[in-house]
Amino acid sequence: MDRLAVVVPCYNEEEVLITSSKALRNILDNMISKGKIAQDSFILFVNDGSKDRTWELIKEEHENYPNQVFGCKLATNVGHQFALTAGLLSVQEMCDMVISIDADLQDDVASMEEMVDQYHKGCDIVYGVRKARTTDSFFKRVTAQSFYKLLEFMGVKTVYNHADFRLMSKRAVREFAKYKEYNLYLRGIVPLLGYKTACVYYDRRERMAGESKYPLKKMLALAFEGVSSFSIKPISMVMGLGIGIMFCSVLAAIYALISYVTGHVEPGWTSLILSVWFLGGIQLFAIGLIGKYIGKIYIEVKHRPRYNIDEMLIGELKD
């Protein structure tokens, strides 16, 4: 029977962790009783440098369920994508398949059984996809839809309305481990693996307690990470804009020459100032954009560790 690991990145989740642990243990027990996963399937909570009692609660859950609830404590806060990666790579040799899910359990845990069913049908990757965004605010719904359309326009391969709720087989995780980049965007990397995939659709719930760990600032940072990590189209667009402005400048020069010859020259202070500000803004934007790409290269070539594990709580696993 194949062993399932559930990886749960956590950052300041003391309000929901016990409830989440119970819900995940129940779904594991249910699938074990149906013979769909191995008896020693487990949950790994990854503490991403939480400032509250998250790690203490993980330790308590491990003491109460030593062979079902494991823990991984990162030395400092590294962000959701790195914490999730740390969990995936930590369990890749301990299981046959792994499901990643956020601790707030807004993603439907009942869908995990359908994911496992798709795995048994031969799928190496199963995406959890939201049916709709009715629980989102108007602003979040519009920005999220715009984000996916922007990624598609930029040529980034993603799954619409999919976040990081997914199942991956052992060989998919092993393949993912070969991607050593520091600028991580898992939603873009996983589709590149190329294995057989399927989608499971579900309704996303309201958060049980606490607050979202993805405010607007982090959402914008993630959006830029997704675009800049998989596409150089923004630089091409800036170059295209520069060519367009050069063409407009030629037209303006022709107009100025005709005006000079016909004697219709008038003071052009306003148009001159507007042109200077416009061209100056374009230049600064282009320099900043190129600088961002260079900065990402600078970070990559350092080859620094993406995370450091401070402590692991692992129970006994049967071979």
- One digit per residue, the tens of pLDDT, for the chain of length 319 reads 899 999 999 999 998 999 999 999 999 999 999 999 999 999 999 999 999 899 999 999 999 999 999 999 999 998 888 999 999 999 998 999 999 999 888 888 889 999 999 999 999 999 998 886 665 666 666 666 666 676 666 666 777 777 789 999 999 999 999 888 877 778 878 888 888 999 999 887 765 555 555 555 666 666 666 565 655 566 666 667 676 776 676 676 676 667 666 766 556 655 665 677 677 767 767 777 777 777 777 777 777 788 889 999 987 666 5
Q: Where are the domains of the chain?
A: 4-230+305-313, 233-302
Q: Which fold has domain 4-230+305-313?
A: Spore Coat Polysaccharide Biosynthesis Protein SpsA; Chain A (3.90.550)
- pTM (predicted TM-score): 0.72
Q: What are phi and psi of 104, to 5 degrees?
A: -75, -10
Q: How far apart are CA 171 and CA 126, in angstroms?
A: 13
97 bridge partner residues: 4, 169
- Cβ 6 vs Cβ 101: under 8 Å: yes
Q: How many angstroms separate the CA atoms of 29 and 206, rounded?
A: 24
